[in-house]
Every structure is written in C-alpha cells, then in structure tokens.
Structure 1
Amino acid sequence: MTRIRSFAVVCAVSMAVVGVGAAPASAQPALEPPVTTTPPFTTPYTDNCPFAASPPPAIDLSEVPAPGSTVPQPLPIPAEAVGGDRLAECGAVVPDGAPPLPADISATGFVVADMDSGAVLAAKDPHGRYRPASTIKVLLALVALDELNLNTQVTATAEDAAAEGSAVGIGKNGVYTNLQLMQGLVMASGNDAAHALSRQMGGDGATVAKMNAKAVELGALDTRTATPSGLDGPGMACSAYDLALIYREAMRNPTFTQLISTQTVQFPGYPKDPAIPEDQDRPVFTLSNDNLLLYNYEGALGGKTGYTDDARQTFVAGAERDGRRLVVTIMQGDVLPIRPWEQAARLLDYGFAMDSSSSVGDLVEPRSTSAVTSTRSSGPTPTLAQPPSSVPSSSASGSRQSDLQAQGDTVVRIAIGVIGTIVVLGLLWGARRLSRTR
C-alpha cells in the first residue's frame, strides 16, 4: 500500500509539472508567499531554574548504567552560589544599567568573564547543570599535562583506534608522542586520542576519578565527569560557570595555550594491519583545528567545541582585545539561528564593550590543601617539546613549592648535623691521641 501511495504521489506531481509547462502564461495563477507558522526564535527560558540539580532528561540510552551499577545521585547544590550571590540567579544576569544581551543566542546557559581579573561580566543560568560533551576534554588535558611526559612515545591499540565518536584518526600500531595525542585531543576532539591518554593514567575509571578530583580542586562543584572524552554517561554534569573555571586554569598552562591556538600541524599515519590483506599504510596528514572562532575572530586565543545528542552544542573559547582577555562558555545551544562559534563571538563583543569594572560575580581561584586560594608561581614559558612536569598547574604550584622548600630545609639540617658530628668525633679522636702521647 505504501508503494502504491508513493507512486500515486509521484504521478500527481509529474502531471502537475507537465500541466504547468503546457498552460499559457496568462492561465498561471499568481504565486502567493508561503504562510510562516514557525514562531520567531527565542532564547530558552530558565528563570524557574529547571536544571539547578541535574541536566535535562536524556533522549537516548547513553546514560543507562552498566549492569550492577546505579545512576549516581545529583551533586549537592552549594548553600551559597560559588562566585557570588547574583550567580545563583537562573535567568539572564547582567550588571545594573548594562545594555540588552545580544540576540540570536540559543545557548540555554552561558558565561562571559574576564580571564585575568576573574570578573563575571554577564551570564545566563551560570550554575545550571548541563552535559559538557567534548568541552570536558579541557579538564582531561589539565590532568594529562600534570601527569604525562609529552615526549613519551605511545603505540596505539585497537581499542584506542575504535573509540566511539569523533576521532583524530590514530590507528592500531601507530606510534605517537603524548604531544601528538594532545594535539589530536584538543584540535580535533579525538576520542581515540582521549582513550590513548587515559589508558596511560590507569584507564577510564582512574582518569575520570582524577578529573573529578581536579574539578573539586578548581571549585567546579557542578561538575562530575562520567567519561574522559565527554561522551554522555550516568551522572555527567557541568555548568557554564564551571567550564569557565576549567578553561581559565588551563590557559594558565603555557603548553595548553600553544596547543589550543595551533591551527594546523602534521599528524602521523600508521602501518597497515597485516590481518587485513587489502589494508594499506596510512600516510602522514595535515590536522586542522576544528574551532572556527580561531580563524574568524580577531584576537581569538583558541577554544573547544562539543556536541552529543543529549548535550547539544557546547563551546568554550577565549579572546584578547586591548590587553583584556575574556572567556566565553556556551551550554546546550544549537546551530540555529547562528552557529555556536558565532554566538560566542557576539557574547565576546558584548563583554569587550562593557566597562572593565563591571561584574555580577567572580571566577574563584583554585583550592589547595592548606588554603582556599593559591597563587601560580612565575617562571619561563616552556615550549611544547618540554615535558609537562616542568609546567605545574596553578593549583599545585604552591604546595609543590612548599614541599621543595621543606625538602631543602631538611637537607640543610641533615648536612649541618653530619658536619657537626664529624667535628665532634675529630676533636675526641685528637684529644685521645694527645692523652696517649702524654
């Protein structure tokens, strides 16, 4: 029946087309403009805080827990909003007297903030919880840069190459440095690269635990990672505010800033699989950064894209203008009415146009084991060839410096003790010989 109906429709359309072509011009009816029934675009409404505890319900099975496990409870909501009272608001948050926010922003939540002062210039549902998709790879990059040597060579496994979702294109038995895996992670959002990096840090479970610990350290209390790559999983959550914290901390790492701002780089190929007779070697290829803001926005510093069916469009990026550096984050957006990077550009323009003293809150500084905030140590900027161990994160630098100072003090004390003991023994020995001589 379906085929018959389809055939009838085709015949009717064909006859109509033939009829129109044969009729005289005077007989053609005037064409009326189509009636538009689609309502005009409006930014999603969040004033009633629909996502204060959890992201919107999943539309697929990506967050169904594995057999024997359960969905984790939502993260607790802090009694006081991190960053200031106004950031507890769920709708649009702008300073008093600020101009209207730009139009055509489909992001359900967003933040525009000064990366250096930490001032939040404008926001919408800043602590609403959404799925981060691949923007969470910025957090993975932070953990990997703390732990892995960029010069170490890694041989990719079949599991690395078969990682679900977006891929940079690594292959089984391909040999890559961690630097190249980081390039594939940041520039091309490679889930295969994420798998190869997390494998070196104990596997997905261990890496997720490290990412979540780092989030707490940064004060990102809306964030719980379920997968290293950003694929949706049970309990996955982040917020526009947290994403700004994570990106700001990453941009304090000179290695990350170079990775995120690289437009193109040569990426290794890999050998053919001998188990597949028709397979061929994959040659070296040019890897391009997938962040269009980097190419199209003056002063762009680099950023990270993200998308899953449940997360929708997510985005984080930074830009510099007249000595000011801003970060913009977008959560649960869409490609309509304009693309996410274009929405980010409009929000950046809005932020740059505001007075630098304007603020509705602050990006908090990372925590440390001994204080609420920590100050990043100054030092020479390393090149990408240097291992990340020479680039401590700001949250760790204070404690590492105190550890090194304590170790140095201990060494000095031991040395003084040893020298003192030698002197005393020498005096006793000399006195004894003198006594014997006498």
Structure 2
Amino acid sequence: MTTFRVVGMALSALLVAPAVAAVPPAQAAAAPEVPCPRAEPPVPPPATPAPPPVDPAHRKVGGDALATEGLAIPQGAPMAPAVTATSWLVADLNTGEVLGGCAPHDRRTPASVQKLLLAAALMPRLDPAQVVEVKREDLADLDPASSLMGVKDGGRYSIESLWLGLLLKSGNDAANVLARVGGGERGRQGGVDAMNDEARRLRANQTHAVTPSGLDAPGQYTSAYDLALIARATFAREDFRRYMRTRVAEVPGQPGQPALELINDNTLLDRYSGMLGGKTGFTSLARQTYVGVAERDGRRLAVTLLGAENAPLGSLGEAIALLDWGFALPRDASAGRLVEPEEKQSSSSPSLWLLSGLGLGTVALVLIVAVPWRHRSGRRAVGQV
C-alpha cells in the first residue's frame, strides 16, 4: 500500500466522520470515592511526612477505576476486608486482572519489599555461579542491628548464595554486594540506576529507588500497584520462585567464620495453602510492608500492602485476609488491569502514531512528513507492519 493511498484513506475517514465527533464530550460526573475499610490499630502510628502527589495521568494506569485514593473493587463484589494498610492491591498474575485495591497508586515508603525490584533488575544479568568478594564499602553504612545475611569483609560468596541471603533473610548486606557487582563500573549506584531503569520498563511510575535494600532514604517511594507489576516480573522467573520457596539454605563458611544457616523468614510458606513466596519489610517510616503470591486451581494471585501496623492482624494476617477475599471472587472479576512492560518501538511506529487522531488541519503535514520517510526507509510504506 502506497503512502498516498494510506493518507488518502485517513483523510476520507475524517471527512465522513460524524460531525458530533468534533464536539468535546460532556464531562461525566465523577463517582463518589468509596472509603477503604480500615481496621484501627490499638496504638496510633507515628506521623509521617506526606508523600509527593501523583500525576493524575499515572493514577489512571490500569483503568479509570484505579484512579482513586479510596477503594476500587469489582461491581457487586463483597466488601474487601478491613486492614490497617494504607494502600493495598490484589491481582491475578496469570490474567493481569486487578481484583481490587485501596489507594493503589499512592506513593508509600517500601522498606525491604524494595529488594524485589533489585531482583527484577539484576537477576537476569548476574551468573548465579559467579563468586564475588565482599568489600568494606558494602558493609560500611549498615546498622549491625538491621536485617543482615552475615557476610564478612573479604569473604567470597556465590551470587546464588547472595540471592538466598537477600530473599530468605532480607540481607541488607547482600543487597549492597549484589547492587555493586551488578552496577559494573558505577558500582552500587549503577545497581540502583538499573533498578530505576527496570521500574520505568515495567511502567511502575510511582517507584523510585535510592537504596538497593529498601532502607529509608529521601525520595524513595513505591505503590501497591507498582509492587504488583514488580511481583509479576520476579515470580515469572523459575529461579526466583525456587529461591522464595527454599525453607533453609546453608552458605559455606569462610576463613575464621562458620557456615551461615539461612532460614526463610516468610512464615506464610507453611501457614497458607498454595503460597509460592513472599517478602516482608519494616522501618519506622514505612511501617509494615508485604508482597506475597499464592496459587490455587490455576489462579496465581499477588497481594501487596504498604503502611500496615503489627496489630490487630499484622502484615501477614492482612495478606491472608486479602488473598482469601481475592480467591473467593469469580475468575472474571476485575477492577482494572496490570499494564504490560514497555517494549521497543518498531521503525514504523512514528508514522503510525502520526496517522492516529489527526484533525483535518494536520493531514497536509502528514503528507509532507510521510513521503520523505518512505524514500529514506526504502522498505516499508506508512501503515505497514
């Protein structure tokens, strides 16, 4: 099909389009926001700084129903359980359907669930059999009382052992080593940059990493919706799922150090039927955070929650309540969708974009731009894919 023919078809379609199409539709009245069912903790949480506002366009990612700071559930669905989490989401990772959420796009502090983004970014890059040496800089800024795998300065560990230490013990030391090794010449910062690149690829618009471990830092945020996108990317990997379902692992000892025994701290593996794995998090700023995935009868549901308190249910109890609610919904229930990751555009994309949504006054511009483009490409006419 020639360029002139495609442009002519576009012009004809515009000329025969109903005149009403040129009239902006009336703004529909916004539906009233439904408050999220909330469980009150016995002790009020400490005040935290207000997160930055969310771009209104980003709130609509996944569907208009998700553009709320309140509750989004399918029409006719039973009410979601009351939890302390300030935001949460339940989604089917197989179909991409969002079953429900509370303030799904609101920015919140991630704590250690950020480690899933580290895995999503660097697991495809790093050879699990590679042995790397821990450097002093990997441990220099870590509080000994924080979650640690237990690696030692100068010790040599396989990448696989570090992944196990990261995911089973939430090792902040393992996160620093993996980020430095995966970051190449830029070191740890290069690893963090890779995390942010992966967030952009996944279209996790509210996610920005500053530390590889999830330890608090200014400007570091995620959202319940974004965490579901990240969970979908990580749980799609067989090696990641294998690490997550490992109950106990032993890391060989180092000179002067006995072997490390790593016990999985995701206690839902033995408490919840079909549990594939999960990641907990806590800081005084983030409060309790959690990402978990369970599979029953071919349905693989993810639950993500942020800003939970340790009572009355705690993050794990709230995750169980939300998963039970999700599995009880019909298979076709939907309040929105998880968007697909960004892909590289084909060489014909610019021309196709130019032809979409054109007004009469721009058809001539398309004609001017498209013809020279065809001569430069020498292969594809406008509109061919």
Q: Is TM > 0.5 for Structure 1 vs Structure 2?
A: yes
Out of 143, 147, 153, the residue aligned to residue 166 of structure 1 is: 147
- Gap runs ≥5 in structure 1: 1-40, 45-54, 59-71, 272-280, 372-438
Report the alpha carbon displacement of residue 322 of structure 1 after superposing the two structures with TM.
Answer: 1.1
Out of 370, 381, 401, the residue aligned to residue 345 of structure 2 is: 370
1:360 and 1:218 map into 2 onto residues whose CA distance is 20
- Aligned CA distance change for structure 1 residues 76 and 97 (closer, same or farther; 3 Å): closer
- Gap runs ≥5 in structure 2: 1-36, 41-46, 347-385
Structure 2 counterpart SS, 1:246: helix
Structure 2 counterpart SS, 1:358: coil
Alignment of structure 1 residues 38-57 onto 2, 5 Å:
42-43=38-39, 56-57=48-49
- Are the counterparts in 1 of residues 88 and 303 from structure 2 also a CA contact under 8 Å? yes
Q: With structure 2 as the length reference, what TM-score do the two structures score?
A: 0.74
**1:402 matched to which residue of 2?**
none
RCO (CA 8 Å, sep 6+): is it higher in 1 or 2? Answer: 2
1:80 and 1:295 map into 2 onto residues whose CA distance is 36
Out of 91, 96, 109, the residue aligned to residue 131 of structure 1 is: 109
Counterpart residue identity of residue 84, structure 1: G
Q: With structure 1 as the length reference, what TM-score do the two structures score?
A: 0.65
Structure 2 counterpart SS, 1:147: coil
- Are the counterparts in 1 of residues 58 and 205 from structure 2 also a CA contact under 8 Å? no
**1:90 matched to which residue of 2?**
69
- Which deviates more from structure 2 when the two are superposed, residues 362-371 or residues 236-245? 362-371
1:270 has 2:254 as partner: yes
- Are the counterparts in 1 of residues 94 and 300 from structure 2 also a CA contact under 8 Å? yes
- Are the counterparts in 1 of residues 93 and 302 from structure 2 also a CA contact under 8 Å? yes
**1:146 matched to which residue of 2?**
124
Report the alpha carbon displacement of residue 308 of structure 1 after superposing the two structures with TM.
Answer: 0.9
Structure 1 counterpart SS, 2:276: strand
Alignment of structure 1 residues 331-370 onto 2, 5 Å:
331-370=306-345
- Are the counterparts in 1 of residues 105 and 223 from structure 2 also a CA contact under 8 Å? yes
Greater Rg over alpha carbons, structure = 1
Counterpart residue identity of residue 39, structure 2: T
Give CA-to-partner distance per residue, 1:340-390, whole Å, 9 cap, x none: 11110111010000001000000111111227xxxxxxxxxxxxxxxxxxx
1:206 and 1:263 map into 2 onto residues whose CA distance is 31
Out of 255, 267, 270, the residue aligned to residue 239 of structure 2 is: 255
- Are the counterparts in 2 of residues 167 and 191 from structure 1 also a CA contact under 8 Å? yes
- Are the counterparts in 2 of residues 170 and 269 from structure 1 also a CA contact under 8 Å? no
- Are the counterparts in 2 of residues 293 and 342 from structure 1 also a CA contact under 8 Å? no
Out of 182, 192, 195, the residue aligned to residue 208 of structure 1 is: 192
Structure 1 counterpart SS, 2:123: helix
2:119 and 2:293 map into 1 onto residues whose CA distance is 16
Structure 2 counterpart SS, 1:221: coil
- Are the counterparts in 2 of residues 173 and 270 from structure 1 also a CA contact under 8 Å? no
2:326 and 2:136 map into 1 onto residues whose CA distance is 45
1:325 and 1:315 map into 2 onto residues whose CA distance is 17
Aligned residues: 299
2:59 and 2:283 map into 1 onto residues whose CA distance is 31
- Are the counterparts in 1 of residues 150 and 260 from structure 2 also a CA contact under 8 Å? no
Report the alpha carbon displacement of residue 285 of structure 1 after superposing the two structures with TM.
Answer: 3.1
**1:219 matched to which residue of 2?**
203
Identity level (%): 44
Out of 159, 162, 183, the residue aligned to residue 178 of structure 1 is: 159
**1:199 matched to which residue of 2?**
180
